[in-house]
Structure 1
Amino acid sequence: MSRARLAALSLLALAALLLIVRLWPRPPLAARIPLSTAVLDSRGELLRLRLASDGQLRLWQPLSDMPPALIEAVLLHEDRHFYWHPGVNPPALLRAALVTASGGARQGGSTLSMQLARLLERRHTRNLAGKLGQIGAALWLEARYSKREILEAYLNLAPYGGNVQGVGAAARLYFGKRPRELDLAQTLALAVLPQAPNARVPGTGETESLRAARLRLYARWLAVHPAAAEQRALVEAPLRFQRRALPFRAPHFTGALLAEAGETAPAELKTTLDLRLQSLLEQRLRQHLAPLARVGIDNAAVLLVDSRDLGVRAWIGSADWFNAGIHGQVDGVSARRSPGSTLKPLLYALAMDQGLIHPLSVLKDAPTYFGPYAPENNDGAFLGPISAHDALIRSRNVPAVQLSAQLREPSLYRFLKSAGVALPRSERHYGLALTLGGGEVSMVELAQLYAMLANRGLWRPLRRLAEEPPAPGERRLSADASFMVMDILRDNPRPDEAVWRPTRNRLTPAWKTGTSWGFRDAWTAGVFGPYVLVVWLGNFDGRSNPALVGIRSAAPLFFDLADAIRVAEPELVEPAFPQPPRLARVEVCTASGDLPNADCPQRSQTWYIPGVSPIRLSTVHRRLRIDRRSGRLACPDTPASAVVEEVYEFWPSELMRLYAQAGMPRRAPPPPGDCGLLATTAVGEAPSIRSPLAGVEYALRPEQLGQQVIPLLAHADGAVRTLYWFVDGSYLGSSAPGVAYAYRPTQTGRHQLSVSDDTGRSSARELRLRLSD
């Protein structure tokens, strides 16, 4: 075989061997060293930097994130022939050896590949054996990895003084910037630092060694980039350069994330937190707590969440992480505490969905016993009959417990469990006291519940990491009930309304307070604009304090923080929450919350869910004919000149007693007159249903359930103005006599259809529906 052929085969074999070495699976260079973890806010601001397991600070930056000027400056200073040599530059090595041997300044002649080999293997390279080993390691690196991979690894491992390695950590620690944000003077400084890091790293300012080195590099830079002469003033000015303290922002939040990530945490954890809002709320919290110290309140926690994507924007676990006296390192956002009355809005929404109430339903605030349990109101008083709207705003305990006792499936306990509340004990253990804060919830769970109200009844978990996509949402409440409860909570007046009159503007908060038993926790949770805000005041050791009352201590803090956010973000608007299509408005008699009859003197508008909300015709007000001579009910033969008509309220005896106890006694109707056989009089005709027809089964197309119309039509007495339609006792809507009401059934089977007129007379008929073939 000829020498040429043998040489060709040898070269081919060598090329094949190099190709196999290059293509053989190998771990990335970043996997060979432990890395630090940087926790960033949503805008990339550094919140916290955790040391690598070997005590070094390293932030791995992909080469694509490095500014081209920095890469070029490093190559110009360290290895101009990097892309052309195989890992070793023989002329440079020979020159360095000759200079060193002749007694000149010691030179290494190392390429970037050789320097990376030394950094990776921590070789001693000041003797011949070490240098030869470094050369071999560099050649092996070049055989296995690309130039880009080697350059990336070097830029991330280059020494920058002390325990700082890599341009990512150096840019953060020395300039408070990311590498791509560096100006030319800072770029040149980082390019020359690794050559003599300990001599050039500043104490409180730029060292002479560093200044001289970067100006020499600038001169070489000008030869390649003449236009950089325009930046001479910037480069030649003294460089503001000193090592900054490691940031330690949002410590409870970042600590939890790092603990969960463990030692396998990535180089960066980009979070949803907004450092600007975090800092603003921390400052306002400290200012708010300062005067409260005189009444023994010195700790608080705050959680701010964006309801649109459930991202955490601010997380303050305590008033001062460094204050051992208040157990500042305990995370109040994650701690489980009694929520007081903050769960009541969820109870009312659940009751609305189950058809127990609408906003103006009349509830009873009176002494009530549920077996051995007798709930009391915080003020020790009872208000008697009260609307659901006012009972929720005024946080009356007894009506809330009554509603909880009436719930069907799900109960409040099972509803809360389905909405992410980790109640650790059985439903029987909590009982009805769960309504008033007898369980334990965290601020995270409470924020998720209020975000569910803001998001039309869709529950989603909180997001802490930017890479987590928002969850699709799980239906826990109807949009109708969520809308009605939010509408009620927006009517809740601010505690400082004496100086600030609330208006239904674009950022009117929907909010609720809570006070735990024994005055151990004071809460306020609410929604304003796109944000859900939860605040807590208390003591982590569980000490009681009479000042810990939600409306007096937590609510002012809530509004202080909300106002600060509104000023900081003036562009905030209320997310669109249009009226759900099923929800409707209806006029009701204010006194009873039911449909007004002809004699109801005062009427109001309320929301209701057709077919669900418990609305019937009011029978409270009745017009009576009074004999003015005797003061008794007039007989049919009483002369008209002796009769006067008056409207009286006819309440059940229990409610009459409650009104009297509340200091609002109702006037009792007069006794009947002595009418004998003439006492019975005609009261007119009840409505007569004309459609649907009796005994007829109506067929519905399956694809048109909820859309196909069955007209409801009835004729009535001549004095009647309004007819009210019901199916199975649930109110549908109203129509005038002789005018059809468009009923769109959603269920087949047999149903009880009834109609009442505005005097209380009614008729009923069976309605049979089936699916068509």
Structure 2
Amino acid sequence: MRFFSTAINFLALPFASANYRNSPRRTLLALAANGVLALLVLVGATLATVLPSLPSFDVVTDYRPKIPLRIYTADGALLGEFGEERRDFTPIDAVPPVLKEALLAIEDARFYEHSGVDYRGVLRAVAAGLTGGMRQGASTITMQVARNFFLSQEKTLKRKLTEVVLAYRIESALSKDRILELYMNQIYLGQRSYGFAAAARTYFNKRLPELTLAEAAMLAGIPQNPAKHNPAVNPVRAKARQELVLKRMLQLGRITQAQYAEAVAEPLRIGRSLQFEAHADHAAELVRQELHARYKGEAYTQGFNVYTTLDKAEQNAAYDAVRRNVLAYDQRHGYRGPEGFVALPDNADEWDEAIERALARHPGSDNLIPAVVTEVSARLVRAEPAAGDTLEIKGDGLRFAARALQPNAKMDLKIRVGSVIRVSQDGKGRWAISQMPEVDVAFVALNADDGSYRAMVGGFDFARNQFNHVTSAWRQPGSSIKPFVYSAALEKGFSPATLMNDAPLSLPGGEDGQPWEPRNDDGYDGPISLRQALARSKNVVAVRLLQAISPQYARDYLQRFGFDAAKHPANLTMTLGSGSVTPLQMASAYAVFANGGYRVTPRLIEKITDARGKVLWQAPPPPARDDGQRAIDPRNAFIIDSMLREVVRSGTAAVASHRLGRNDLAGKTGTTSNAVDGWFAGYAGNVVAVSWMGYGQPRSLGGREFGATLALPIWIDYMRQALSGKPPSERTPPPGVSLIDGDWVYDEFRGEDGVKALDVEVSPFRSIFDAIRRAFGG
């Protein structure tokens, strides 16, 4: 400071004489000189404090941006992203020229000419401000890089001088392209988007090379004020800013008048949220949990890319199948009434605010859009959604809620002005009243050979309920457990041709000391083969079969398929599905029948890479099959497979073979008591899939609902995609089985004239029946 004090005194000497002081002109000059000197002193003093405290320069020379965790399908479709900052690091040579031209035109036209600070730009900005011309900023892109990486937004001389010094340092250390690369990847552009690549996905659901001139100009206009120029929040201001960018590009000769006019006129579709290419929220959440367990907080900032085993087309087919069939079930059971009500004020501004507040409490769910009713009659309903024009619902669109539109409808059912309803739009643009389903659902598909997930839908709407029913919902399996009891019976000498008595059965041990009397849904048929009993899901036969092999034996046998024995009772109700399983357990268990008898372990993650694509972890290849992985005898898997094919060919799931037109489908329906749970588990080729429907708090799904009406349609719709273009699969009989009297049996259980007889109750007329069967070759 002593140096600056001496300098001031020395420079002030010429102005200290009496003659100089007596001249007004000289007095003004003296004041001006003193002002300049004071400014120089202030600058010098500020620099004296700035230079020693400059931050470390490593942050730009070794740039490591916060890049979110991204999750993909096996074929590269984005299905999830986690992190505070949305960012895609993009090398400068991958940025399209149209975007660079737009950005430089509005932010720093002389970027490639100046040395970090554009003094001509400063003078031009001052002149524009004084003359009322186009408003221009004085900060260069290099200065903005300095500010964004090192400094706060406070407007002080010290911060500005630090910015200038850092700009020169950056220019001396990095190339122009590298500086522009840093800027275009680091800058905040609203909606949690950092960098232009992330912004292109957020606002237009596009990659950078796909941007049009109009879209590039709109993105280039955001950095000045991401809050006000954000097109998702303020499309009017964003449009004005875009036109300013285009005008500047025209002035600089970067575009022609025709290009300008075309870009200004181009309609833009602005997204309001990040769009994913596959609907797999529950699967993405499973991956997020795994990555957080491995990497903690770094999982969300280091740019990890996780590639799952999911298939994009199959995942979306599963999602669509779930949504379509849950809504179909919901429509079958009637309209329950509006979701809410809001009293609409008379004032127009307050009216809009009231609707906005009401709809904020009822978020959208894909094509189920919330709206507030503003006009209602039996023939027409008008409603206001959160975005877009007023909707008109009429004709068939009112049919579902017709009772709620009657003047005498009960208040909790009635649709009136102010009611919050759900609407959906069909492919022809027609609106209809709908509703959010209350029922829950699960669907999972695995590769039966290696256990890799092909598709997973853990519930109807992840935003409404994050609980993953595929992995965590323990539900009664109903008749879908029967094939495992039949599999156990094969090891005891039974065969598909074994006859059992399908007749009323009364056993002790019922409630309140009453006998337990299991019943069939379709009556009784007397003597029936096990093949037909499984195909038609005969409950009484299943109970007799379990009685013959013992519940304890069957319960222990279930563990071969991955079931938890503790979750299943050691009594006769086990064969009717009174235990507990998860849909994922069921899929893994049915995979054993599909692949010839081997246990598989479900796996979702195929590989993990860092932000640069380097593989950090790769799933090991499936081990070669050996006896250590075998769950059941290959003969057992072959015979049960043939029986499960019969279920789909002629039994409770026959609709599947008709709709899909294939003869290689296998599976089993399942419906619990009072239709609380509906299941279908099945496979074709190496694709095994399980669907389930039920209420979170268990209650009946309806007296006329079964696994075949609830879960099977989901399975069919998914399999239509999963099996598309794949030829039917056939099974070759393994050694050790023989075809006797038209059905399969283990060789060791053959008698001299056919199948060895078993001590199983059939009926008093068994010997007569057997004689007739042999006589007719049946």
Which TM class, normalised by the smaller chain length?
0.5 to 0.7
**What is residue 140 of structure 2 aligned with on the other side?**
110
- In structure 2, relative to structure 1, the CA distance for the partners of 1:134 and 1:498 (3 Å cut) is closer
| CA distance in structure 2 between the aligned counterparts of 1:378 and 1:295, rounded to whole angstroms | 33
Preserved contact between residue 506 and residue 529 of structure 1 (Cα < 8 Å): no
1:34-73 residue CA offsets vs partner (Å, 9 max, x unmatched): x545555556555555561xxxx42333538944446744
Preserved contact between residue 99 and residue 213 of structure 2 (Cα < 8 Å): no
Deviation at 1:566, TM superposition (A): 5.8
Deviation at 1:560, TM superposition (A): 2.8
Q: Does residue 337 of structure 1 match 2:475? A: yes
Q: Secondary structure at the match of 2:443?
A: strand
Q: Does residue 394 of structure 1 match 2:536? A: yes
Q: Secondary structure at the match of 2:188?
A: coil
After TM superposition, the structure 1 stretch with the greater mean CA deviation from structure 2, 163-172 or 376-385, is 376-385
Q: Does residue 347 of structure 1 match 2:377? A: no
Letter in 1 for 2:750: I
- In structure 2, relative to structure 1, the CA distance for the partners of 1:216 and 1:546 (3 Å cut) is closer
Q: Which of 197, 201, 210 in structure 2 is aligned with 1:181? A: 210
Letter in 1 for 2:714: L
Higher relative contact order (CA 8 A, sep 6+): 2
1:472-528 residue CA offsets vs partner (Å, 9 max, x unmatched): 474323443323222221211467899898499536531211223454222121124
**What is residue 58 of structure 1 aligned with on the other side?**
86
**What is residue 378 of structure 1 aligned with on the other side?**
519
Q: Does residue 660 of structure 1 match 2:660? A: no
1:718-751 residue CA offsets vs partner (Å, 9 max, x unmatched): xxxxxxxxxxxxxxxxxxxxxxxxxxxxxxxxxx
Q: Does residue 532 of structure 1 match 2:672? A: no
**What is residue 243 of structure 2 aligned with on the other side?**
211
1:558-707 matches, cutoff 5 A: 558-565=711-718, 571-574=724-727, 576-579=729-732, 581-582=734-735, 585-586=738-739, 588=740, 603-604=741-742, 606-610=743-747, 613-618=748-753, 658-660=762-764
Letter in 2 for 1:161: G
Deviation at 1:30, TM superposition (A): 3.6
Deviation at 1:210, TM superposition (A): 0.8
Q: Which of 299, 305, 317 in structure 2 is aligned with 1:265? A: 299
**What is residue 357 of structure 1 aligned with on the other side?**
494
1:61-76 matches, cutoff 5 A: 61-63=89-91, 66-69=94-97, 72-73=100-101, 76=104
Q: Does residue 93 of structure 1 match 2:118? A: yes
Deviation at 1:541, TM superposition (A): 1.1
**What is residue 491 of structure 1 aligned with on the other side?**
646
| CA distance in structure 1 between the aligned counterparts of 2:691 and 2:654, rounded to whole angstroms | 22
Deviation at 1:339, TM superposition (A): 0.9
Letter in 2 for 1:187: A
Q: Secondary structure at the match of 1:344?
A: helix
Q: Tell me the number of residue pairs that the alignment of Structure 1 and Structure 2 aligns.
A: 573
| CA distance in structure 2 between the aligned counterparts of 1:479 and 1:218, rounded to whole angstroms | 75
Preserved contact between residue 502 and residue 508 of structure 1 (Cα < 8 Å): no
Preserved contact between residue 513 and residue 524 of structure 1 (Cα < 8 Å): yes
- In structure 2, relative to structure 1, the CA distance for the partners of 1:166 and 1:277 (3 Å cut) is same
| CA distance in structure 1 between the aligned counterparts of 2:771 and 2:662, rounded to whole angstroms | 44
Deviation at 1:101, TM superposition (A): 5.6
Q: Does residue 131 of structure 1 match 2:160? A: yes
- In structure 2, relative to structure 1, the CA distance for the partners of 1:97 and 1:188 (3 Å cut) is closer
| CA distance in structure 2 between the aligned counterparts of 1:608 and 1:302, rounded to whole angstroms | 36
Q: Does residue 157 of structure 1 match 2:159? A: no
- In structure 2, relative to structure 1, the CA distance for the partners of 1:214 and 1:355 (3 Å cut) is farther
Q: Secondary structure at the match of 2:223?
A: helix
- In structure 2, relative to structure 1, the CA distance for the partners of 1:116 and 1:443 (3 Å cut) is farther
Letter in 2 for 1:93: D
Q: Does residue 461 of structure 1 match 2:601? A: yes
**What is residue 428 of structure 2 aligned with on the other side?**
none
| CA distance in structure 2 between the aligned counterparts of 1:517 and 1:233, rounded to whole angstroms | 68
Letter in 1 for 2:299: A
| CA distance in structure 1 between the aligned counterparts of 2:333 and 2:605, rounded to whole angstroms | 35
Preserved contact between residue 506 and residue 573 of structure 1 (Cα < 8 Å): no
Preserved contact between residue 404 and residue 412 of structure 1 (Cα < 8 Å): yes
**What is residue 277 of structure 1 aligned with on the other side?**
317
Letter in 2 for 1:616: G
Deviation at 1:74, TM superposition (A): 6.7
Preserved contact between residue 494 and residue 502 of structure 1 (Cα < 8 Å): no
Letter in 2 for 1:337: R
- In structure 2, relative to structure 1, the CA distance for the partners of 1:264 and 1:277 (3 Å cut) is farther
Preserved contact between residue 675 and residue 706 of structure 2 (Cα < 8 Å): no
Q: Secondary structure at the match of 1:288?
A: helix
Q: Secondary structure at the match of 1:511?
A: strand
Deviation at 1:148, TM superposition (A): 7.8
- In structure 2, relative to structure 1, the CA distance for the partners of 1:455 and 1:74 (3 Å cut) is farther
**What is residue 630 of structure 2 aligned with on the other side?**
475
- In structure 2, relative to structure 1, the CA distance for the partners of 1:438 and 1:620 (3 Å cut) is closer
TM-score, normalised on structure 2? 0.61
| CA distance in structure 2 between the aligned counterparts of 1:418 and 1:320, rounded to whole angstroms | 34
Larger Rg belongs to: 1
Preserved contact between residue 598 and residue 631 of structure 2 (Cα < 8 Å): yes
Preserved contact between residue 303 and residue 312 of structure 1 (Cα < 8 Å): no
**What is residue 523 of structure 1 aligned with on the other side?**
679
| CA distance in structure 2 between the aligned counterparts of 1:26 and 1:347, rounded to whole angstroms | 66
Preserved contact between residue 486 and residue 510 of structure 1 (Cα < 8 Å): yes
| CA distance in structure 1 between the aligned counterparts of 2:572 and 2:622, rounded to whole angstroms | 32
| CA distance in structure 2 between the aligned counterparts of 1:246 and 1:182, rounded to whole angstroms | 16
**Which one has the bigger helix percentage?**
2
Q: Which of 686, 689, 707 in structure 2 is aligned with 1:554? A: 707
1:656-699 residue CA offsets vs partner (Å, 9 max, x unmatched): x733379976789xxxxxxxxxxxxxxxxxxxxxxxxxxxxxxx
**What is residue 743 of structure 1 aligned with on the other side?**
none
Letter in 2 for 1:338: Q
Deviation at 1:177, TM superposition (A): 1.9
Preserved contact between residue 71 and residue 80 of structure 2 (Cα < 8 Å): yes
- In structure 2, relative to structure 1, the CA distance for the partners of 1:305 and 1:435 (3 Å cut) is same
1:338-386 residue CA offsets vs partner (Å, 9 max, x unmatched): 111212223333544x463343344565788999699754328765554
Preserved contact between residue 49 and residue 247 of structure 1 (Cα < 8 Å): no
- In structure 2, relative to structure 1, the CA distance for the partners of 1:620 and 1:243 (3 Å cut) is closer
Letter in 2 for 1:118: R
1:403-426 residue CA offsets vs partner (Å, 9 max, x unmatched): 657779995545544544455x38
TM-score, normalised on structure 1? 0.61
Q: Secondary structure at the match of 2:679?
A: strand
